Amino acid sequence: MSQASLLSSPIEYLKGVGPLRADMLKKELDLYTFGDLLQHFPHRHIDKTLVLDINAIQPDHDFVQVRGVLQGLGTIGEKRARRMVGQLRDNTGAIELAWFQGISWVQKNLVEGQQYLVFGRVSFFNGRAQIVHPEIEPYIPQIIAQKSALEPVYSSTEKLKARGLNGKQIGKLTQALFTQISEKDLPENLPAHLLKDRMNRWEAFRQVHFPSSPEKYKQALQRLIFEELFIAQLRLALIKIERHKNSKGHLFSKVGDYFNNFYNLHLPFELTGAQKRVIKEIRQDAAKGYQMNRLLQGDVGSGKTMIALLAMLIAADNGFQSCLMAPTEILAQQHYASLNELLLEMPIEVALLTGSTKIKERRRILQGLLDDTIHFVVGTHAIIEDTVQFKNLGLAVIDEQHRFGVAQRAKLWKKSSIPPHVLVMTATPIPRTLAMTAYGDLDYSVMDELPPGRQPIKTVHRFETARASVMDFVKTEIEKGRQAYYVYPLIEESEKMSFENLMEGYEQVKSFFPEPKYKISMVHGRMPNDLKEMNMQRFKSGETQILVGTTVIEVGVNVPNASVMVIESSEKFGLSQLHQLRGRVGRGMEQSYCVLLSSVKASREAKDRLKIMCSTNDGFVIAEKDLEIRGPGDIDGTRQSGALNFKLASIINDREALEEAKKQATLICEKDPTLNLPEHAVIKAYLQSQKSKIGWGKIA
């Protein structure tokens, strides 16, 4: 058998498996081949040289091994509840053993009065320790010496256990596997220079299953984790190289008068270091001849709009038009107003195109886009309608990405034969490690710095019982001329309920802030758009002091005079959503506040979340915590990605290894993008073997 084919041998060919067990292994654990079993790693190891005194067993012990004399063996209970019980007694105490299945085996094989060595998971039942379905074998003094200090523990499933394939049996199969394969079946796949301080591949696989010492186990694990991350990073880097090679894009070869005049004469502030870096990344990207597809992550308030504008000016310098799309009419208007203000003295024509643009104006804009008298168009979905045609669209900026679907973005492609460069801006930070794995094949920029002089928002957590004093505090802020947001959660599954809650809340806020002294706007998702816009506008202009709303106010709205946000039932929100909401305050010169109200009965986890919110304003830190709490599958704004299905590596625990893997993969790709150098032959061979191997067993 050739080396590649041995690991791809169907699992039924392994000694001790056979067709029936093979079927179960496939269904239950997705183990189709020898190679799959090899990668069914033990989740931990246990020390079988250790024998505990029975009276030393504590409730927090998980698995224990004890030795003693078996007594009082007998069945109790009737029919389905029938079980076999017995006691194991040493000279310190006794523990109960119980069997619900395999009773006849017990009756045939176990003898009262004999010494046994017993291993299993302890549980406490009515304050008494017991082991259900223990591993049990006659005790002879030499037996301990034959045990391993690091016996692997494999996961199994209830169904497999019922068919005699528990974790221990799976360990036996793995042992059998290692008698059939040899070093040549697991050829090295890391180039020599990465092996200096690392265990080789064969050794690592053996040691991770059956370690000869804790140190060896650690080294083996580290080697395999690195390998997993390195191969993933290499794949992403190669995909990116391939995409750049194949996607022709407009060439923004120069930075000209539009950019330079604006930068030197009209820029109202010094750019932050992060802004400078990102605009440079964009400039370099767009000058390379391939289509830029860049994701820009910047925390709320980091100044993404300025990046959009500067990129659009570079497009204009190269004779191209740009569009800037926002998810709501309010945001589009806001962008339009700020671009107009910034470009007041520049010979640049900006238009606003939304669903409510009047027919005559719309006609003028469509014509202007066709004959290139309009350079920038800002708008909503209205921009991607088929009737909107550009003379030469070079750049599309999409703000607050998560509200735009992929299909909508694809529509932009069709607007010119060479697709425009795309810059997607999102204010939902995701942790760097997650971005590296989930977006590693995209062009990707981060703005992790806020403009100077911002006062951090003060955030506190209060129970609902303290609502009245919170309202009093809000009152004092309003007396000072500030404005306030009141946010209620809108839970999709029970929208009706929360709608009623919102109305109740509105009445409650009204009773605290009676008209005509106070004026209140309300917005929610069920409101017709124009009414919603009108209410927002009244708040924006300062006509109303309080805005009561659901999370529709979440995205991008800029009312610098609003300095307080009260979030009701804040325990019902996720961390990143709370962070987005809170980003609506703290946008002006004044000290801002965020009050998180929750029920006293909120879960412990929810209270921990609120604690995190009170301790930091940094979206990236919050995203890291969110990742720790929820795991990588659930984070907002991430796409499903095979890159996240690691067998051993964890993007939460193995950050350093990930950074190192990325660094090494990037170095190799820069030097040798085709992997044709002799020292990279091992990687190339490995990647190719992975490609051809895909799921033979699964197809059969």
Which whole-number Å values give the CA distances from 271 to 254, 405, 643, in the listed order?
20, 31, 35
Nearer to Mg ion, 234 or 296 (CB): 296
Q: Among ligand ADP, Mg ion, none, what does residue 302 contact (CB within 5–8 Å per kind)?
A: ligand ADP
Of all residues in the chain, what percent are helix, strand and coil, respectively (each to 5)?
Answer: 45, 20, 35
Minimum Å gap between C-beta 294 and ligand ADP is 15
Q: Which does 431 bind (CB under 5 to 8 A by kind): Mg ion, ligand ADP, none?
A: none
For residue 501, give the H/E element and its range: helix 495-512
DSSP letter for 265, please. Answer: I
Applying CB under 6 A, among 272, 401, 535, 569 the residue interacting with ligand ADP is: 272
Question: What does 303 interact with, of ligand ADP, Mg ion, none (CB < 5 to 8 A by kind)?
Answer: ligand ADP
Q: Rounded to an integer, what distance in angstroms lies between the CA atom of residue 68 and that of residue 574?
A: 52
Sign of the alpha-carbon torsion through 681, 685, 687, 691:
positive
The residue ranges of DSSP E strands in 465-602, in sequence order, are 483-487, 520-523, 546-549, 562-567, 593-598
Name the minimum Å distance from CB 327 to ligand ADP: 13
Residue nearer to ligand ADP on the CB measure, 86 or 619? 619
Per CB under 6 A, does 401 bind ligand ADP?
no
| Count of chain residues binding ligand ADP (CB under 6 A) | 15
Helix axes 167-180, 201-209, angle to 10 degrees: 150
Q: How far apart are CA 679 and CA 656, in angstroms?
A: 25
User: What are the b/e assignments for 84-110, b being 16+ CB within 10 Å?
Assistant: bbbbbbbeebbbbbbbeeeeeebeeeb
Q: Find the distance separating the first CA and the last CA of the chain, reported in whole Å.
A: 20
Q: Give whichever of 207 and 302 is closer to ligand ADP, judged by the CB atom.
A: 302
What residues make contact with Mg ion under the rule CB under 5 A? 556
Choice from 167, 256, 368, 451 touching ligand ADP (CB under 6 A): 451
Identify the DSSP state of 643: G
Select 211 or 429, whichever has its Cβ closest to ligand ADP. 429
Question: What is residue 420's DSSP assignment?
Answer: P
R_g over Cα of the chain: 32
From the list Mg ion, ligand ADP, none, which binds 298 (C-beta under 5 to 8 Å, kind-based)?
A: ligand ADP
CB of 654 to Mg ion, least distance (A): 33
Say whether residue 588 binds ligand ADP (CB under 6 A): no
**Distance from C-alpha of 463 to C-alpha of 599, rounded to nearest angstrom:** 6
Of 451 and 525, nearer to ligand ADP (C-beta) is 451
Q: Where are the beta strands (DSSP E) in 509-628?
A: 520-523, 546-549, 562-567, 593-598
Residues 552-581 that bind ligand ADP (CB under 6 A): 558
Q: How far is CA 288 from the centre of its chain?
A: 31
Q: With respect to Mg ion, which residue has the nearer C-beta, 440 or 556?
A: 556
Torsion of CA 466, 467, 472, 478, to 10 degrees: 140
| Helix runs in 271-384, H state only | 273-286, 304-317, 329-342, 359-370
* Residue 33 in the binding site for ligand ADP (CB under 6 A): no
Alpha-carbon gap, residue 332 to 360, rounded angstroms: 19
Angle between helical axes of 214-246 and 655-671 (0-180°, round to 10): 40
Find out whether 576 and 583 touch, Cβ atoms under 8 Å.
Answer: no
Residue 318 near which of Mg ion, ligand ADP, none (CB within 5-8 Å, type-dependent): none
- Residue 174 interacting with ligand ADP (CB under 6 A): no
> Which range touches ligand ADP (CB under 6 A), out of 44-52, 215-223, 240-248, 271-279?
271-279
Residue 309, φ and ψ in degrees, nearest 5: -60, -45
Pick the closer one to Mg ion by CB: 441 or 554: 554
**Shortest separation between residue 305's beta carbon and Mg ion, angstroms:** 5
Q: Which residues contact 621 (CB under 8 A, 6 or more apart)?
A: none
Toward ligand ADP, which CB reaches closer, 37 or 278? 278
- Select the residue interacting with ligand ADP from 100, 124, 178, 269 (CB under 6 A): 269
Residue 85 binding result from ligand ADP, Mg ion, none, given CB thresholds of 5 to 8 Å by partner type: none
Considering the complex, state which of residue 373 and residue 455 has its C-beta at the smaller distance from ligand ADP: 455
Which option in Mg ion, ligand ADP, none does residue 207 bind, with CB closer than 5 to 8 A by kind?
none
Among 52, 176, 271, 442, binds ligand ADP (CB under 6 A): 271
Q: Least distance to ligand ADP from the beta carbon of 609, Å?
A: 22
Q: Which does 334 bind (CB under 5 to 8 A by kind): ligand ADP, Mg ion, none?
A: none
At its nearest, how many Å lie between Mg ion and the CB of residue 604?
34
Which residue stretches of 199-328 are H helix?
201-209, 214-246, 257-261, 273-286, 304-317
Least gap, CB of 455 to ligand ADP (angstroms):
13
269 interface partner picked from ligand ADP, Mg ion, none, CB below 5 to 8 A per type: ligand ADP
Q: 237 or 422: whose CB is closer to ligand ADP?
A: 422
Q: Least distance (Å) from ligand ADP to the CB of residue 400?
A: 8
Closer to Mg ion by Cβ: residue 556 or 637? 556
- Find out whether 379 and 352 touch, Cβ atoms under 8 Å: yes
- Per CB under 6 A, which of residues 279..318 are in contact with ligand ADP? 298, 300-306
Q: Does 427 bind ligand ADP (CB under 6 A)?
A: yes
Chain residue at closest Cβ approach to ligand ADP? 303
Residue 275 binding partner per list ligand ADP, Mg ion, none, with a CB distance cut-off of 5 to 8 Å that depends on partner kind? ligand ADP
Q: Which residues bind ligand ADP (CB under 6 A)?
A: 269, 271-272, 275, 298, 300-306, 427, 451, 558
